[in-house]
Chain A
């Protein structure tokens, strides 16, 4: 146990902290935003991603071509005025399909990220806060999950549970929940490690000690004092998880084991297109580029967020603050 802080300190802690407001325009978040905008490519990534999201959300209402209108006269045509991104082997309009499918691709990414973050935070926080045997057991579990082969296991799970879930929830919802749960369930480990590491260092910091000394129960210490300070790295990890989840879903669909053909996610379109590469390259290139641009933007945003959310990093002299910037792919693993 840590000794309680002396009386003087505990009296002064209470009042001023809640009364003093940070000066206008210099809150933690506006400061982070300012730092984020300094990262030029991250800002570009943000704009590109916003355009994609808007297109996918609003697009189907503006561009009202049905996704399943079969027209054999116009099959496998390249881009034209009638079909801006061309058509597939049934003459279905690719732009309409990509706008619709993109919703699902992005939704899978975000939902799987949320699962990974929630599971990872709960496990990491429990582990870091409880310590001892619980900590040991949970970390062994994390290590075990880290050495599971991702995609093969994903394929196995989808193969085993797909039909059962389809029966219960319908083809679209069933596959969606399965894919999201499995991808999220196989990606929480880095977050758990990250949160645990944060907890281990934060729980010994003076302000947590102060809270403890003032009699805050453990749950309040965690929720009010430790978690908010551990949130930065989690946000960064979450951002990169969205990209990873989008790739995972696309890989599944690309192997023909994700969503059924009537739900044209980007990966699924690629799967259908890959046997017609020689006479309809546009069919594969557009959805592939969409995946690539989304993932690239998200990765750059993650990079920018890492700069923005670490207040200790000095940005003005880039050289000194650089070394930690560079591990985008697995910032979460480090």
Chain B
């Protein structure tokens, strides 16, 4: 198992290098110059600018720059934010937990909706419940998150005035009130994201269960007198989850897309909204670092999916 993990980690390295190469090429090809502002500033003589360029190695050939950049990234030296004059690493570490918290809860909600609904619909295909849930699933993944977010704000914040639509990281008070406020403000972003994810997962789950439930070994399980509960949970669901994990793993990049948008709508102070702010402020080091962090997260969750895969299906050996 640990050997397998190690091997999987080693496979991550070329992927990481590939992604960072793509990012770097994009940046290197991009027109514009990080010292453009200095060029238009009459108080800065051109020699100073040239010196700065030289000092930061901007005139070196691209492969040299790439290696230097990659080594620096790997060492954790992500540069300084042009705008807030803070270490990029620190900036991201402040924001990352919020993003992961909201994303994690959303994913959990998605699963909590998708698993039971998908399984139940597949157990009774074309029943009323199945038809309703299929329709809702279709609507669910056709509704873009930015529109659901707006509808939620309109209904729950403006019309009913139940929930706050601005996420605050600095809630005062303590004890129960603090928890309550935190839960209240996290409800809408998590629901918007979770339902969107859940809609797609419901459909995957339903189709996977439908496929498994007709197989012979399910009949065998029933015939030998296992209760319906055990048959479904241990024999059907576990096998149905295998293709679902693959499909969900392929969707992971999409999850981060949703995260950026919900964070922007509800002003959640995560790295998604930091990305938008940085883009609007031309803060290149932060933009690069965040894109890189998102890529790392995608790879990380792909790894998790791989491990889950092995756990669900012992035939996929860990060797």
Spell out A's residues near B (CB within 8 Å). 143-144, 146-153, 155-157, 159-161, 163-164, 243, 247, 250-251, 254-257, 267, 270, 273-274, 277-278, 281, 284-285, 288-289, 291-292, 295-296, 299-300, 303, 318-319, 322-330, 333-334
Q: Which residue of A lies closest to B199 (CB)?
A: A329
Enumerate B239-281 residues with CB–CB distance to A below 8 Å: 247, 250-254, 256-257, 260-261, 264-265, 275-276, 279-280
Q: Say whether chain A's binding surface is mostly helix, strand, loop, or mixed.
A: helix
Given known A-B contacts A281-B154, A299-B141, A251 and B257 have beta carbons under 8 A apart: yes
Q: Are B150 and A299 in contact (CB under 8 A)?
A: no
User: From B261, which residue of chain A is reached at the shortest CB distance?
Assistant: A251
Please, which residue of chain A has its CB at the minimum distance from the CB of B211?
A: A323
Q: With A254-B261, A328-B203 as given contacts, are A270 and B146 in contact (CB-CB < 8 Å)?
A: yes
Pairwise interchain contact B279-A155, C-beta atoms closer than 8 A: yes
Measured CA separation A290–B144 after assembly (Å): 11
Contacts A156-B287, A157-B26, A285-B151 known; 10 new A-B pairs at CB < 8 A: A146-B250, A147-B19, A148-B253, A149-B253, A151-B260, A159-B279, A164-B30, A277-B150, A292-B144, A333-B247
B261/A151 in contact, CB under 8 A: yes
Q: Identify the B interface with A (CB < 8 A).
A: 15, 18-19, 22-23, 26-27, 30-32, 125-126, 134, 138-139, 141-144, 146-147, 150-151, 153-154, 158, 199-200, 203-204, 206-207, 210-211, 247, 250-254, 256-257, 260-261, 264-265, 275-276, 279-280, 282, 287-288, 290-291, 294-295, 297-299, 302
- Docked pose: A327 CA to B118 CA in angstroms: 12
Partner of A144, one of B22, B26, B250, B275: B22
A sample of 29 inter-chain contacts (CB < 8 A) reads: A144-B22, A147-B19, A148-B19, A148-B295, A151-B260, A152-B291, A152-B294, A153-B291, A155-B276, A156-B23, A156-B26, A156-B288, A157-B26, A159-B282, A160-B27, A163-B31, A251-B144, A251-B146, A251-B261, A256-B276, A256-B280, A267-B146, A270-B146, A284-B154, A291-B144, A322-B125, A322-B210, A327-B247, A333-B247
**Closest approach, in angstroms, between the C-beta of B275 and any C-beta of chain A?**
6
Give the nearest-CB partner of B298 in chain A. Answer: A147
- Asked if B32 and A299 make an inter-chain contact with CB atoms under 8 angstroms apart, the answer reads no
**B173 → chain A closest CB, angstroms:** 26
| CA of A278 to CA of B141, assembled, Å | 26
Q: Nearest CB to that of A289 among chain B residues?
A: B147
Q: Contacts A152-B275, A163-B32, A328-B138 given: A147-B200 contact, CB under 8 Å? A: no
A291-B200 CB under 8 A given contacts A274-B265, A299-B141: no
Contacts of B250 in A (CB 8 A): 146, 330, 333
Q: What is the chain B residue whose CB lies nearest that of A299? A: B142
Q: How far is the CB of A116 from chain B (nearest CB, A)?
A: 15
CB neighbours of A152 from chain B (8 A): 256-257, 260, 275, 290-291, 294
Q: With A155-B276, A288-B150 in contact, do A146 and B144 touch (Cβ < 8 Å)? A: no
Contact residues in B for A300 (Cβ distance below 8 Å): 138
Measured between beta carbons, the chain A residues less than 8 angstroms from B251 are 329-330, 333
Residue of A161, A303, A318, A328 with most partner-chain B CB within 10 A:
A328
A149 x B294 contact (CB < 8 A):
yes
Contact B158 A278 (CB under 8 A): yes
What is the CA–CA distance of A194 and B26 in the complex, to the nearest angstrom?
A: 27
List of B residues within 8 angstroms of A330 by Cβ: 200, 247, 250-251
